[in-house]
Amino acid sequence: MPVSAPDANPFRYGDLALDDAFTDRADELRELKSDILSGQNVVIFAPRRYGKSSLVWKATQELIAADQVLVAQVDLMATPSKEKLAEKLARSIYEDIATPVFRVRERAVAVFRGLRIAPRITLDPDDGSLSFGFEASSRREDIDATLERLLELPAQLAAGRKRVALVFDEFQEILAIDPGLTPLMRSIFQSQAEVAHVYLGSKRSMMERIFSDANEPFWRSAKRTELGLIDPPLFAPFIAGRFRVTGRAIDAEALAAVLVITQGHPYGTQELCYYLWQEVAAGGTAGLDDLDRAVTRVLRSENAHFSRIWEKSASGHRLVLQALAAAPLRQITEEKRRELNLGGDATVRKALRALSDDELVLRDAGGYRIAEPFLAEWIRRQQS
């Protein structure tokens, strides 16, 4: 539903960008929907806050609304054990696949009675939903057999009925749950031609290990899709339109400055525009002075988060972050290291690897740069 209330902020950050808050990614959206309908496995690489989950949610919801696909989704960040993974899988399969297929609760529940470990099924008296529990004291072979059966169910339940998608968010966490799960999952998934498996991950080094290492079971098992920043010219009409729909405006200079600051970072742009919109009265127009105040409010809002990052960083990492806050680091030459007082070559490269693993630093065509929106500005202000 379009936002029209003049007092409702039209920008969203922090949660999924849903409905009108979702911007651009038109090509990626169209391609992902086509892949899912074709049963193509897809792995989506992107740093945190780039909109991976929002993109997949948008694609799957449009396919569900068109009655073209059934989608079960599990966030592995919320499944620290195999028992928790089984619980989340069972609930999603029940709600999103078994129930639409059978349309009768008793038949949908019956599919879980043949599991090696019988789940504890409880009914929520408020909304009538079911939850599934698996005993943590179960033998390893029993929980493994239960997970194997659960992973087989989506394809079997929808066979000959409808296309199925099985989505795993933060898939790199599978290694923390149990590295032995990757060969089990791959052995099952490789025979599920009618199921599109979609894997999302934010920790690039771990995702690269899973999908790009020839010694890993998932090597070359999925189409690779990488999300980058949104092209500023594509973001500009969205921003202007969101101001306009709530009876406000943003002048050309301020709009250009927003996109210079954020470079089209999805989360960062929505966050900055959220505060910028709040600086403008109904019927008013956002200008550069309003933008300056909005940036200050963003930094104040992010201060606790950035302070934790800084406090956890080793002294050598802080020196590298301070250097990158001033400008991207294109080459790690001896002259540049001396100029920035960064220490030895091995020390700098080790710091960059660690910061990259933590998704605080990215490397692109312009060199190494700080990835977190507004962290560079926060560091510069701390030094002034």
Cβ atoms of 273 and 291 closer than 8 Å: no
pLDDT band at 1 (very low <50, low <70, confident <90, very high): very low
Alpha helices in the chain (DSSP H): 26-37, 52-65, 82-93, 99-102, 105-110, 140-158, 174-177, 181-189, 204-212, 232-245, 252-262, 266-278, 288-312, 315-326, 334-340, 345-357, 375-383
Helix (H/G/I), strand (E/B), else coil: 39: coil
Mean pLDDT of all residues belonging to the chain: 90
The span from the CA of 151 to the CA of 247, in Å, is: 50
Model confidence at 308: pLDDT above 90: yes
Residue 282 burial by Cβ neighbours in a 10 Å radius (0-12, 13-18, 19+):
exposed
| Ordered structural domains, the chain, with CATH | 25-226 (3.40.50.300), 232-383 (no CATH)
Helix (H/G/I), strand (E/B), else coil: 201: strand
Q: CA nearest 278: which of 237, 241, 250, 306?
A: 250
Model pLDDT, residue 124: 86
Alpha helices in 159-265 (DSSP H): 174-177, 181-189, 204-212, 232-245, 252-262
Model pLDDT, residue 162: 85
The span from the CA of 75 to the CA of 267, in Å, is: 20
The span from the CA of 54 to the CA of 23, in Å, is: 10
Model pLDDT, residue 2: 44
Instruction: Please write the tens of the pLDDT for every residue from 158-210.
Output: 887 889 999 999 999 999 999 999 999 999 999 998 899 999 988 888 999 99
Cβ atoms of 170 and 202 closer than 8 Å: yes
The span from the CA of 146 to the CA of 311, in Å, is: 43
Model pLDDT, residue 41: 97
Instruction: Please write the tens of the pLDDT for every residue from 3-40.
Output: 445 678 999 887 655 555 566 688 899 999 999 999 99
The span from the CA of 262 to the CA of 127, in Å, is: 41
Average pLDDT over residues 358-378: 89
The span from the CA of 15 to the CA of 255, in Å, is: 23
Instruction: Please write the tens of the pLDDT for every residue from 63-110.
Output: 999 999 999 999 999 999 999 999 999 999 999 999 998 877 788 888
What are the backbone angles phi and psi of residue 372, rounded to the nearest 5°? Answer: -60, 130
Model confidence at 378: pLDDT above 90: yes
Q: Which long-range contacts (CB under 8 A, 24 or more apart) does 130-134 make?
A: 130/91, 130/94, 130/95, 131/87, 131/91, 132/86, 132/87, 132/90, 132/91, 132/94, 133/87, 134/83, 134/86, 134/87, 134/90
Alpha helices in 221-287 (DSSP H): 232-245, 252-262, 266-278
The span from the CA of 228 to the CA of 12, in Å, is: 19
pLDDT band at 296 (very low <50, low <70, confident <90, very high): very high
Residue 133 burial by Cβ neighbours in a 10 Å radius (0-12, 13-18, 19+):
middle
Residue with tokens 């690039």: 204
Q: What is the pTM of this model?
A: 0.82
